[in-house]
Chains A and B, each alone.
Chain A
Amino acid sequence: MADVTFTVDGKKLTAPAGTLLIEACRKAGIEIPAFCYYPGLSLQAACRMCVVRQEKVPKLQTACTTPVAEGQVFITESAEIAQARKSTIELLLGNHPLDCPVCDAGGECELQDMTFKYGAGESLYTEAKQHREEQQWSPAVFYDRPRCILCYRCVRMCGEGMDVWALGIQNRGARAVIAPNGGDQLDCEQCGMCIDVCPVGALTSGSYRYKTRPWEMNHVSTVCTHCADGCKVTLGVRQSNDGSTIIRADNRDKSGINGDFLCAKGRFGFDFVESGDRLTKPLVRDAQGKLESATWEHALRFAAARLKEIRDAKGGSSIGIIGSNTTTNEENYLLQKIARTVLGTNNIDHVRTADYATFSRALAGKASRTVGLRGIAEAPAILLVGSNPTDEHPLLAWELRADVRLNRARLYIANTAEIKLERQARAALRVPPAGYTQLTGYLAGGKSSISDTTFRDALLAEESLVVVIGPELSGATLQSLIEWGLGREHVKFALLGDFANSRGAADMGLSPDLLPGYVPVTAPGDYAAEYPNLPRAPGKSLPEMLSSKLGALLVVGADPVAQQNVAPDVLKSTFVIVQDLFLTETAAIADVVFPSASLYEKTGTVTNTYGDLQLAKKAADHAGVKTDFEILVRLADALGADINKLVPFGKSSVTADLGQSRGAQAGEADRHAVWLAAQGLEPKLSPFDPIAVLDEIERLVPGYKLDRLNLFCGNDVATEPGFVPVSALTATATIEPAHDGLFTSGLLSRYSPALKDLEKHQSAVPAVAVAD
Chain B
Amino acid sequence: MTNETMSVFSTELSARFDKLVAKYPVRRSALVPMLLYAQDEVGYLSDAVIADVADRIGITELDVRNVATYYSMLRFKPAGKYNVQVCTNISCMLRGGYEIFEKFQDELGIGHKGVSTDGVFSLEEVECIGACCWAPAIQVNYDFHDDLTPEQVPGILEQYRAKAAQGGKNA
Contact = CB atoms under 8 A, between A and B. Distances in A.
Direct contact of A and B (CB under 8 A): yes
Interface of A: 165-172, 179-181, 768-771
A530 to B, nearest CB: 61
Interface string B64-100: 0110011000000000000000000000000000000
8 contacts: A166-B62, A168-B66, A169-B66, A170-B69, A172-B69, A768-B60, A769-B60, A769-B61
B27 to A, nearest CB: 15
B63 interface: yes
- Interface SS, B side: helix
B54 interface: yes
Contacts of B66: 168-170, 179
A461 to B, nearest CB: 30
A181 B62 CA distance: 5
Interface residues of B, number: 9
Interface of B: 54, 60-63, 65-66, 69-70
B148 to A, nearest CB: 29
A179 B62 contact: yes
A165 B62 contact: yes
A168 B70 contact: no
Contacts of A768: 60-62
A117 to B, nearest CB: 33
A156 to B, nearest CB: 13
Given A170-B70, A769-B54, 11 more contacts: A165-B60, A166-B62, A168-B63, A168-B65, A169-B66, A170-B69, A171-B69, A171-B70, A179-B62, A180-B62, A181-B61
Nearest to B59: A771
A82 to B, nearest CB: 34
Contacts of B69: 170-172
A167 B60 CA distance: 11
A170 B54 CA distance: 16
A165 B60 CA distance: 9
Contact of B60 (A169, A172, A181): A181
A410 B63 CA distance: 28
Nearest to A769: B60
A166 to B, nearest CB: 7
Contacts of B54: 769
A768 B66 CA distance: 15
Contacts of A169: 66
B107 to A, nearest CB: 29
A169 B70 CA distance: 9
Contacts of A172: 69-70
Contacts of A771: 60
Contacts of B60: 165, 181, 768-771
A171 B74 CA distance: 11
In the A-B complex, the 7 residue pairs with the closest CB atoms? A168-B66, A170-B69, A181-B62, A168-B62, A171-B69, A172-B70, A769-B60
Nearest to A770: B60
A769 B50 CA distance: 12
A171 B66 CA distance: 7
Nearest to B54: A769
Contacts of A170: 65-66, 69-70
Nearest to A771: B60
A181 B60 CA distance: 8
A604 to B, nearest CB: 44
Nearest to B70: A172
A160 to B, nearest CB: 14
A768 B60 CA distance: 9
A771 B61 CA distance: 10
A768 B63 CA distance: 12
